[in-house]
Structure 1
Amino acid sequence: MRQIFILLFLVVCTSVGAKPLSYYFDEDIQFDPKVPTPSSVLGYEVGEWHVRHDQLVYYMRELAQHSDRVNIQTIGYTHEQRPLVMLTITKPERLGNIDQVRQAHLERVNGNSAVTADSPAVMYMGYSVHGNEPSGSNASLLVAYYLAAAQDKRVEQLLEHSVILLDPSLNPDGLARFASWANSNRAMIPSADPETREHNENWPRSRTNHYWFDLNRDWLLLQHPESRARIAQFQAWQPNVLTDFHEMGPNSTFFFQPGIPSRKNPLTPDENVDLTKTIATHHARILDKHDRLYFTEEAFDDFYVGKGSTYPDINGSIGILFEQGSSRGHVQDTINGRLEFPFTIKNQLLTNFSTFDAVLENRQKLLTYQQDFFKESTKLADKDKVKGYVVSAPKDPTRLAYFLSILEQHQINAYALTEPTTVEKQEFDAQNSYYVPLDQRQYRLIKAMFTEQQNFVDNTFYDVSGWTLAHAFNLEFKPLSSAWGLEVEDQAWSADTPKSQAQPLNRHYAFAFEWYDYHAPKLLTKLLQQGVEARVALSGFTANSDSEQRDLAPGTIVIPAGIQKRDDWLAVLNSVSAEFAIDVFGINSGLTSKGVDLGSRQLAPVTLPKVLLVGGEPASQYEVGELWYYLDRHVGLAPSIIEADNLNRVDLDNYTHIVFAQGRYGSLSKSFKSQLQTWVQAGGVVWGHKGGAQFLADEQILKASYLSRKDMAAAFSTEGLHYGDKDMLAGKQRIAGAIFDTQVDLTHPLSFSLTRESLPVFKNSTFLLEQSAAPFVNVATYSEKPLLAGFTDENNVAQIANGGAILAHSYGRGTVVAMSDNPVFRGFWYGTSRIFSNALFFGEHVEASAE
């Protein structure tokens, strides 16, 4: 009896999750026996367990070793140093000279050679950019095996007429986290209960990468190594079709593009949509054959060009989004019945096949479309009233270089000005100013990067409606209607240009560096970490530096020789400053010719921040991750990320700063709230933005009023609306993501490094601080006509106008800083991020009563 029970138990276990290759492939497909199957390498059938990233890579390397159709290369590494691999798959003869094939393809793309009957199409197959949407990456095992080993007519034609670039995991760190979660919470008999632990990850969830960023929003912004490696391959190959395999909620079925017709980016050609529809008929055909439920032309949009399915559209390719209802583990009960992991994998596999069929059938159309796309760029640029853009970042070459690096990675040229120019009464110095002409093959992408569009055919957005990069970097920029008389360098800017070496620093009375450069906070951090004593000038002064008079603005960091405790402090200063392209210079005397002297109380001590960043379920993992990333990458600080449930056990006196990102913190314990008040009163600096600011206001630590989402929504009349108007009203009430202008008090310590009163901010919520009536508390306020780019209904714009953007005031001996918006949105909002780092280093010197 016991043996029978064990046998039945094993049969039940095997029946849930374990599906043989015959489940995924038609029986008439023959496979090369020399090429290993997934189960022969992994030790289990695809879908029985969630594949770990290391197993995925190992199997792909095995395929490359055993199949002459496959090459594999490592194209980069993630933050956690997992390899980013790319398989190149085509017929063996072509694979032998693949770089010449690539060059020939680029020649056709650029119109330098004709499309012929033999010209291969190029496909970029990308899987699971969201780590907890794993059916894509698990399907990639089967796709790669099929392409490497199948011996049927379809694969022979495919290898003959195409080059396939297969990226099996767009987010290895996230995929690894989710595989560990799903596998470690899987029982021998998996639970289908949606409420069980396996289907509900702890915070932070593994949709994101190492720093909790959504990599599917980083295709344009390129803040992470995964994105930079991917775009380098995309631009090197210029594929005709790019696939982007995702998952959605378990109660959904299957989605493929085209999406909602009215929500495409206006820069995307109509022919792109027509080709997408043509390809869609192949998806429908194969899913119909297998009786799969699906939908199209609803729910998703193709507007933000920084997503995986839209970036190709603005680059001459056809981007296709697939969304599969997720089992979020191994099996889950849904409104459509029991959803098993292998079922989700097979749907993704089927639409790989339909994509292959569509590309084979429409190969020459796709190649011709791509060639025409770039030919048309010259015509569009010639007709455009704008001929290009002049951009500048006075006194901050590092911030400008980050911006130019993004352009370069997207194959966009920018040329340094050799003579100053004036555009619409605004002067642009030759130093730190560049010209970006529109007459380039990337015409559409340049337009997309600089667009300030505010009115749209459809005002409902799945993602952001504004992302103007020049605003994000707080650059001064103007469009040019004519480039006549503009003097620029012949060679475009390049990150590979050699940098000049700084001269060694010799003994002086003091040393100083200005605060303008984007790397200044990181330089200061490294000096403080190594025991170098520093002061910040809260007032401006003029000092003598080697017979040169230097006018130094507030925010200048001064390192006096007389207060140093390390004997080798000058060697440390030389070593650290050599890492940065920042001018560190000597000052000859403590007596200045103008302004405060170096012994003044206006040269205040600067201490190394010890940051507690509140995390856990109440907090947005995206915004906590963005703060973590900014502190780690750009400031050189490692914050202590402490989950809200553990705050009661923490001694707050170990920290100088506490940071609350977007979140709902009302459920924090009364004892912690009391400790927080005491800690701030004793001299701590607390920062809160969006929900974090609301929490501080609710606890009356922040002395400010605010408008909540409900308050903002109340401005919209609902009179006469019908049930069918719900989505329309919700779209108007929402701010999906738009750019607003604020006016900054440039005399305030939190605005040190800013050179103009206008500071663009990114807003993706309707939370709004109100201006303080107290003097000196308003660091930045929204301007009277604040909308710069993106959609926001006029009712919301009217309420935001003249509202409070950034407030700071004293609280006992401490300081409270609050912001209506996220200062480090998606890692690319370089302008407002300096407000945050200023709060870290200078927040303790803010003196302003809110009473």
Structure 2
Amino acid sequence: MKKLAFIMMLCWFWQANAAYYDETLASEVPAPEQILGFQVGQWHARHDQIQRYFEVLAEQSPRVQLEVIGTSHEQRSLLQLVVSSPDNLARLEEIRLQHVAQAQGNEPVSANSPVIIWLAYGVHGNEPSAANAAVVLAHYLAASNNPEVQQWLQQAVIFIQPSLNPDGHDRFALWANMHRGTNPVADPQHREHIEPWPNGRPNHYWFDLNRDWLLLQHPESRARIAQFHKWQPNIVGDFHEMGTNSSYFFQPGIPSRNYPLTPDRNFELTRILAGFHAQAFDQRGQLYYTEESFDDFYVGKGSTYPDVTGSVGILFEQASSRGHVQESINGLLTFADTIKNQFDASLSTIRGSVANRQALLSYQQEFFQTASQQARAERVKGFVLTEAHDRTRLEALLQLLAQHQIAVYPFTQDWQYEQTQFRAGQSYYVPLQQAQYRLLKAAFSTDKTFKDNTFYDVSAWTLPYAYNIAFTSVNREPGRAVADVPWQRQARARQTSLQADGYAYVLNWQDQLAPVALNAMLAEGLMVRAALGDFTGTTPQGERSFKAGAMVIPAGLQQHPDWFFRLQKIQERFNLPIYTLTTGLTSRGSDLGSNNFTPVSLPQVLLVAGPGVSSTEAGEVWYNLERLAGITPTMVEPERLARINLSRYTHIILPDGDYRGWQETEINRLRQWTQQGGVLWGQKRGAAWLVEAKLLQAGVWSSNEMAELIPQRDLRYADKEALAGKQRIAGAIFNAELDLTHPLTFGIGRKYLPVFKNSNLLLQPSSSPFVNVAGYSAEPHLAGYTAAEYLPRIAQGAALVAHNLGRGRVIGMTDNPVFRGYFMGSSRLLVNAIYLGHSFSASTQAEE
């Protein structure tokens, strides 16, 4: 024990006095410890401490400029440090314009053009070696007088983004620092190495920001991508951590799992740069490996998005100390060790990029030239997007494409293509022939077959499916039917002011903003009724038809003396059309006093979120409820359910999680609460548990039962990974067929709805009538990999079931309707469960 303590003390001493480089740096440039108050690696530097050090560097060094490019959800600054020679920094904008012109082929590649190197650290907050290595790197580049470094700064512009996820970074730094003792504890079971729920990996809303490069749901990602396209870097270093018992990984990854639209030359350059990384690690005798893990397939992560947009993205993975020091199969792993390796890989990235500067610059120009050539050779000329009723959802997709520099052109006149007429004002053309051809093709991909069926991440992400926007590939250009300039977001024309003295007022339910506006009405005390069927009412301008789900505000029911003023303010805030009705009589459908207009009340939502629940999926529910329903839920850990007052809540949501720890006490509480009028929603394992607890009257095909559909006889041990890949639905898109007469589908304009499945769980349809709200279509597979053996079973499954339980309702779904925040189409099912959960009645045989 004394020997172990002595070793640990030596480890701690080395860590506190870590030598990250073996040269003397310029003393006029402050070292990190002078500003932080400790050696890098001795403590986990907080984001504000990193920011302060970068601010001092920018003040003291002529080689450094600091930019704040945005803010996180928790209002932390998103930092971008630009490092280059003073001469380059003095003409930075000139360099940028020349670089972009060369990349796009508008100018020849100059022999003197600097290479643009982008080093991105800490997208996962609990992978702290990256952000702390950024501090060491910034100091070294700002203060080194090494001739090689001088050459780098002349021939490169280096971007250092120290923490792409500052909120998660500080969550982890606080945890690690609060458990740091006088002597480090390397025991893997020590509390320091076991993070609480949620851990530091995700951002404020518990999203994995390394999956958000394509989806851009969060301010951190939007700020990053704006700078990425502004500069079009040649190299992107993406720095991460992995398991403690690993070593160090750098790409290339598994060759069969590369995205097929990435040019071969990209992989050649990656291999060339790998030689520089290997040399750096060989000199120190450090372990590393390549090609055996990590794919480069999903285009929405930090090492792959660059590959389909003209850069060369390289993933780095360092074994994690997950604290200050930890035992591993390779000996004691200190925080300083991990920082040193990330620092060395950063230097080898710069060294290799400068050495191959001309090759990288020429490759980028070639990338865009070949993109143009390939686009011209395509039989498909582009895609047409169409949405008639939900402008908010459509514009969300258009804005997403615009952020990726994908041009979309509005139709200015109707256009006939084959048997379909695309109407102006509702349709938009996305030509393949544009600079971001590869990214566009990837974003609209519906591939179902792949060279390698094992995926580290999802195999499908088709953007129009996620937004439930109809899209059609076309083999000829629309020509004069579309505008000459691409769509740009503009302020909507202000809605006509509400007319006073109406009998009632109507808000259509189709627009994505309608539920948020409804929440504002209910919060203001307005009395609202939901139409359970289509109807035609009389307005001052004549007859107008309204779809089921329309929200009616009857003047005669309002109790606040200034209710009309409140309604006016809500319309001004959301800028949605609200129609005036002059009479309660309707020419079609029920009159306004009918029970087919059901009361809607302000929801009080409890989201079960805590240990045992998937923080990712709980965060997705939280985020989407706020954004698409206007509701911030109360969040309660599973273990507290038996002790809290449930009567104050109207809805309880069980995201994906393990609820097997709940006993009869919790089950009975949920049953009693639901019977008294609550709406209980479960998704994925939450839905499966509701079935097991006999709260949801349905069946489930379990993951094991689904896996048994895959033949397993006569397999060799070498087939083990392939079998696991075939049994897994890593992430694919399926077609759900909706009962559009059911209130839970109101506002969804089309019978078929794309849904995202990333588990093998599958609900069995109920034999009771009116309970199956949605099933899968006869040919359900839309995009992504799914074993052929699964498809007949999925076609038999139920996508959404809902029924009565006493005065309440139970709703289950084994897909994730709010996947990664961008599945805005299927999100409406959850939103409808919040506002229209009491608007249907369907008894099961058990209930009867």
Sort the TM-score into its range (normalised by shorter chain).
Answer: over 0.9
Match of 2:491 in 1: 498
Letter in 2 for 1:365: A
Match of 1:618 in 2: 612
Matches for 1:90-489 after TM superposition, within 5 Å? 90-485=84-479, 487-489=481-483
CA spacing shift, 1:13–1:578, aligned 2, 3 Å: farther
Match of 2:629 in 1: 635
Deviates more, 1:29-38 or 1:221-230: 29-38
Deviates more, 1:461-470 or 1:372-381: 372-381
Letter in 1 for 2:49: Q
CA spacing shift, 1:820–1:11, aligned 2, 3 Å: closer
Secondary structure in 2 matching 1:444: helix
Aligned 8 A contact 1:806 1:819 in 2: yes
Measure how far apart 1:420 and its partner are.
2.4
Secondary structure in 2 matching 1:186: coil
1:549 to 543, 548, 569: 543
Matches for 1:764-803 after TM superposition, within 5 Å? 764-803=758-797
Letter in 2 for 1:503: T
1:85, 1:324 → 2: CA distance? 23
Residue by residue, what CA displacement relative to the aligned partner does 1:192-238 show, whole Å, maximum 9, x if unpaired? 11111100111111100000000000000000000000000000000
Where does the alignment leave 5 or more consecutive residues of structure 1 unmatched? Answer: none
1:848, 1:109 → 2: CA distance? 60
Match of 1:657 in 2: 651
Match of 2:65 in 1: 71
Aligned 8 A contact 2:390 2:510 in 1: yes
1:24 to 14, 20, 25: 20
Match of 1:721 in 2: 715
1:695 aligns with 2:689: yes
2:554 to 549, 554, 560: 560
Letter in 2 for 1:24: Y
2:94, 2:26 → 1: CA distance? 28
1:679 aligns with 2:679: no
Matches for 1:81-92 after TM superposition, within 5 Å? 81-92=75-86
Secondary structure in 2 matching 1:16: helix
Letter in 2 for 1:801: A
Aligned 8 A contact 2:653 2:682 in 1: yes
2:525, 2:292 → 1: CA distance? 58
Aligned 8 A contact 1:519 1:634 in 2: yes
Measure how far apart 1:560 and its partner are.
0.7
CA spacing shift, 1:11–1:709, aligned 2, 3 Å: closer
1:286, 1:583 → 2: CA distance? 63
1:554, 1:124 → 2: CA distance? 51
Q: Return the TM-score normalized by structure 1.
A: 0.97
Residue by residue, what CA displacement relative to the aligned partner does 1:428-450 show, whole Å, maximum 9, x if unpaired? 32222110001100000110000
2:112, 2:300 → 1: CA distance? 33
Secondary structure in 2 matching 1:48: coil
1:709, 1:9 → 2: CA distance? 47
Match of 1:516 in 2: 510
Runs (4+) of structure 1 exceeding 6 A deviation are 8-12
Letter in 2 for 1:23: A
2:353, 2:747 → 1: CA distance? 52
Aligned Cα root-mean-square deviation (Å): 1.5
Letter in 2 for 1:588: T
Aligned residues: 842
2:584, 2:350 → 1: CA distance? 73
Secondary structure in 2 matching 1:760: strand
Secondary structure in 2 matching 1:204: coil
1:301, 1:404 → 2: CA distance? 29
Secondary structure in 1 matching 2:438: helix
Aligned 8 A contact 2:11 2:334 in 1: no
CA spacing shift, 1:12–1:662, aligned 2, 3 Å: closer
1:588 to 572, 582, 593: 582
Secondary structure in 2 matching 1:775: coil
1:394, 1:126 → 2: CA distance? 40
Residue by residue, what CA displacement relative to the aligned partner does 1:384-414 show, whole Å, maximum 9, x if unpaired? 0110000012200100000011100000110
Measure how far apart 1:69 and its partner are.
0.5
Deviates more, 1:573-582 or 1:642-651: 573-582
Match of 1:609 in 2: 603
2:756, 2:835 → 1: CA distance? 23
Aligned 8 A contact 1:17 1:49 in 2: no
Letter in 1 for 2:497: P
Residue by residue, what CA displacement relative to the aligned partner does 1:267-289 show, whole Å, maximum 9, x if unpaired? 00000000000000100111011
Match of 1:80 in 2: 74
Aligned 8 A contact 1:216 1:306 in 2: yes
Residue by residue, what CA displacement relative to the aligned partner does 1:286-320 show, whole Å, maximum 9, x if unpaired? 10111111110011000000000000000110000
Secondary structure in 1 matching 2:180: coil
Aligned 8 A contact 2:584 2:591 in 1: yes
Secondary structure in 1 matching 2:371: helix
Matches for 1:800-815 after TM superposition, within 5 Å? 800-815=794-809
2:424, 2:333 → 1: CA distance? 62
Residue by residue, what CA displacement relative to the aligned partner does 1:462-483 show, whole Å, maximum 9, x if unpaired? 0000000000001111001111
1:287, 1:18 → 2: CA distance? 20
Letter in 2 for 1:625: G
2:445, 2:451 → 1: CA distance? 16
Secondary structure in 1 matching 2:750: coil
Deviates more, 1:274-283 or 1:791-800: 791-800
Aligned 8 A contact 2:537 2:586 in 1: yes
Secondary structure in 1 matching 2:481: coil
Measure how far apart 1:18 and its partner are.
5.3
Residue by residue, what CA displacement relative to the aligned partner does 1:63-116 show, whole Å, maximum 9, x if unpaired? 000000101011000000000011111111111121111111111111111112
Identity %: 48
2:522 to 528, 546, 556: 528
Letter in 2 for 1:504: S
Secondary structure in 2 matching 1:783: strand
CA spacing shift, 1:65–1:632, aligned 2, 3 Å: same
Measure how far apart 1:21 and its partner are.
6.5
2:593, 2:414 → 1: CA distance? 39
Letter in 2 for 1:542: T
Aligned 8 A contact 1:309 1:320 in 2: yes
Measure how far apart 1:775 and its partner are.
1.0
Measure how far apart 1:485 and its partner are.
4.9
Residue by residue, what CA displacement relative to the aligned partner does 1:563-602 show, whole Å, maximum 9, x if unpaired? 1111111111111111223211111111111111111111
